[in-house]
Structure 1
Amino acid sequence: MKKMDLHIHTTCSQNRIWGPDAVSTPRQVVKTAIRKGLSGIAVTDHDTVKGGLVASKIAKKLDKDFLVIPGIEVKCKNGDIIALGLKNNPKGHMGNFTAIETVEILRDMGALVVAPHPFGWGGVGKHLDNADFDAVEGFNASQLKCVNTRAKMAAHRLGLPMVAGSDAHYHRNVGNGVTAVDCNQNNVDSILAAISKGKVKIYQEKRTKNRVIVYSFRMAAFLKTILGKPPICNEY
């Protein structure tokens, strides 16, 4: 079984309004995940696959057995959607498309498409039923218990695989949500295939409790960006 955190953000992730979306570099994220005994992670920065690609190169230098799945979290008209296994950004602005259209676009690019925190802030909500998702995030460490419970119920009702992720924006929170993937092969395609076939289960549920501290760090990063010292992303 592979133990993986499938929802993580790095300093490559940017918010269109306040800039830096996360406070830890790809290197910090990878080193923390390895130290915590994870088999791998998915880096799902907002609107860019860059963080996942950088993290993958770092992982190969630090631990050849540690796997990084490059991914992206995009915001469509109806909410946030995660695409796993992408090496290129989608063309155009996903905010112009519905959840149904966005899932189709991302799948045509070869991605496994996940509905993150579907009933939390920024989730696709009722559109989960209509869009053809490959999996549902049944546990998100940054969401309330009731939100995760609704996600689990929806996944059961729709017969979709459930995954877990920390939604970490700070490296110390990596691993708060862990997915166990039943796969012996150590490559991205095999892991994604196992997830799509439902060979997964939620392995760890640990709610993130230091969110005030994380938001303070993010505000500090925002102020540094204004002063011309943005967070590092290209850290190999």
Structure 2
Amino acid sequence: MKIDMHVHTIISSPCSNIDIHDMIDYAQWVGLDALCVTDHDTLYGARLAQEIGREKNFTVFKGMEVNTYQGDFLVFGLKEDIGEVVSAQELIGLVEAQNGVAIAAHPFRQFERALGDNIYTLKGYHAIETKNGNTPRGLNYLAEKAAVKLNLPGVGGSDAHLLQEIGMYYTEFEDSVTSEEELVKALKEGSYLAKSQGFQSDSPSWEKSYFEPFLHTKL
């Protein structure tokens, strides 16, 4: 089952221009089985997308990309917004208290909120985003190495802010996932692989010119 784990919408991520109706239609067209709306620090857009997904017979899961002072996390299984969080470890504790899942997002992206080597000292998170569509390949590779060293599963997500980015990176689950409870359970069990189906250049200059606008922007 192919799920894009990291998508932003125009509803509650001002850095995105993705309309929810277009998002769902495009996700179906590129062959995804489901996607996760992970707007910044709120479930509002995800709730709306889930309702529209039901109307279109397409599965949308609710999540958030939560910003901490140490770095960003994708979180799933929560019922309400978390609010202001000071530290990454505090966030992980809040997610665990609600039986949710915390995933280290694009940990080595070169911007001020990158987790970086903090992922080696933080405790209790469940996976690492090893394939992120808005992170250069070499920095994704560092995330893959960290996942191997920490014996954690890797997830893939497009981190889409533009419609055509949806589905270029995704997570393939061994079993069908039909509810948020099943998603949380599957993420904790680790029976999935991060995958990509898009083009990524070998040229460092291409990576720099393509990703430079994102490096100093809240994504």
One of 47, 53, 61 as aligned partner of 1:59: 53
Q: What 5-or-longer segments of structure 1 have no aligned partner?
A: 15-19, 216-236
CA pair 192-61 structure 1, distance change in 2 beyond 3 A: same
Structure 1 counterpart of 2:7: 8
Query: What is the letter of the counterpart of residue 125 of structure 1?
Result: G
- Code of the aligned partner of 1:44: T
Task: Determine if the alignment matches structure 1 residue 43 to structure 2 residue 41.
Answer: no
1:144-166 CA-partner distances (Å, limit 9, x unpaired): 11100000000011011110000
Cα deviations by residue, 1:46-93 (Å, 9 ceiling, x for unpaired)? 111111111111111101xx3211011111110111102333101x31
Residue identity matched to 2:94: I
User: Is 1:27 paired with 2:21?
Assistant: yes
| Counterpart among 94, 114, 118 of residue 123 in structure 1 | 114
Poorly superposed stretches of 4+, deviation over 4 Å: 207-212
Matches within 5 A, 1:87-166: 87-90=79-82, 92-94=83-85, 97-120=86-109, 121=111, 122-131=113-122, 132-166=124-158
Aligned residues: 203
Query: Secondary structure of the residue that 2:21 maps to in structure 1?
Result: helix
* Runs of 5+ unmatched residues, structure 2: 202-206, 214-219
Name the amino acid aligned to 2:31.
G
| Worse-superposed segment, 68-77 or 202-211 | 202-211
Matched, 1:201 2:200: no
Q: Does 1:181 align with 2:173?
A: yes
Task: Report the CA distance shift for 1:30/1:85 in structure 2 as closer, same or farther (over 3 A).
Answer: farther
Deviation at residue 207 of structure 1 after TM alignment: 5.1
How far apart, CA to CA, are the structure 1 residues paired with 2:102 and 2:87?
14
CA contact (8 A) 1:5 1:174 kept: yes
d(CA) in 2 for partners of 1:139, 1:174 = 13
> Do 1:3 and 1:203's aligned partners in 2 also have CA atoms closer than 8 Å?
no
> Could you tell me which of 183, 186, 191 is aligned with 2:183?
191
Q: What CA deviation, in whole Å up to 9, does each residue of 1:113-161 have, x standing for no partner?
A: 1101001133211111222211100100111111000000000110111
Secondary structure in structure 1 of the residue aligned to 2:3: strand
- Matched position secondary structure for 2:172: strand
Using the TM superposition, give the Cα deviation of residue 13 of structure 1 relative to its aligned residue in structure 2, in angstroms.
Answer: 2.9
TM-score (normalised: structure 2) = 0.85
Q: Matched residues in 1 for 2:200 and 2:46: separation?
A: 22
TM-score (norm 1): 0.80
Q: Look up the SS of the partner of 2:103 in the other structure.
A: strand
Q: Which residue of 1 aligns with 2:77?
A: 85
Following superposition, the deviation at residue 191 of structure 1 comes to: 2.3
Aligned residue for 1:71? Answer: 63
Shift of 1:168: 0.2
- RMSD after superposition: 2.1
